Amino acid sequence: MSGFSLKGRKALVTGSGRGIGRAVAESLIACGARVAINDIDDVRAERCASELGESAIAVPGDVSNSSEVARIFEAMAESFGPIDVLVNNAGADRAIPLLEIDEAEWDRLMTINVKSVFLCTKAALPAMIEKGYGRVVSVSSMVARQGAMNGGIHYASSKAAILGFTRTLARQFAYAGITANAVAPGVIDTDLIAENMTADVRAKIVSLIPLKSMGDAIDVGAAVAFLSSEESRYITGTVLDINGGFWIG
């Protein structure tokens, strides 16, 4: 990871108080970036930023709310300067059957998982366009490709929407030196997995993974660091699968 060039770059990672988001923040800092740690939980964001040291600041808030997004970007700019790298990681899941998903639950997940990507990307673009440089990396999921085995259909739908957003963003803003890519993690051993998967389901899924293990959050962090770096300058509109061979396509 230390071979990727992010020295002097300023990054915002949404939902980075724990899990994959925190691993992404750690990876970016290891490559030389300064990182704004966002989480909807103020205490978690502050604790994470404190633990990651001088290269991190806390910018807590709800990234699915436009006024809070504006405040988050203003706080980051005051501390670090204009953004170079945006990692859209904030998300939620509920493993419930389609017939048990009501309209409110559908809207809730789409707001957290998709609207946040739209709002944060829109907020980041002016500074990136002015610089003629930017990296936008959004965290999708393997289920956007193959459909959900255990998660909700609204989760799979929201993660598929991120892929369409990313590809269109890549086409429309390449002129400004901005790249847009996504990562599609498979089964990553995080708190979210622990909350939504029984031991029996876990064992069954691991048996289906060619590499015979779940991934670690750092596996995603390393991939995002690459897509955020100078070394990825000629990669845009792509989806990087991180799933141990679970889905190959």
Do 52 and 74 touch, CB atoms closer than 8 A? no
Write the DSSP symbol of residue 188.
B
For residue 181, what are the CA distances in angstroms to 166, 224, 233? 6, 9, 11
As a whole number of angstroms, the distance between CA 194 and CA 210 comes to 21
Give the helix/strand (H/E) hosting 139: strand 134-139
Query: Of 133, 155, 175, 234, which one is the catalytic site residue?
Result: 155
- Is there a catalytic annotation at residue 175? no
Closest CA to 143 of 170, 118, 162, 171: 162
Sequence-ordered list of residues with C-beta below 8 angstroms from that of 158, at least 6 positions apart, any chain: 91, 109, 110, 113, 114
Residue 211: CB atoms within 10 A of its CB come to 12
Sequence-ordered list of residues with C-beta below 8 angstroms from that of 202, at least 6 positions apart, any chain: 193, 214
As a whole number of angstroms, the distance between CA 1 and CA 218 comes to 10
Sequence-ordered list of residues with C-beta below 8 angstroms from that of 26, at least 6 positions apart, any chain: 52, 218, 221
As a whole number of angstroms, the distance between CA 186 and CA 120 comes to 24
* Token reading at 204: 């069954």
Residues belonging to the active site: 155
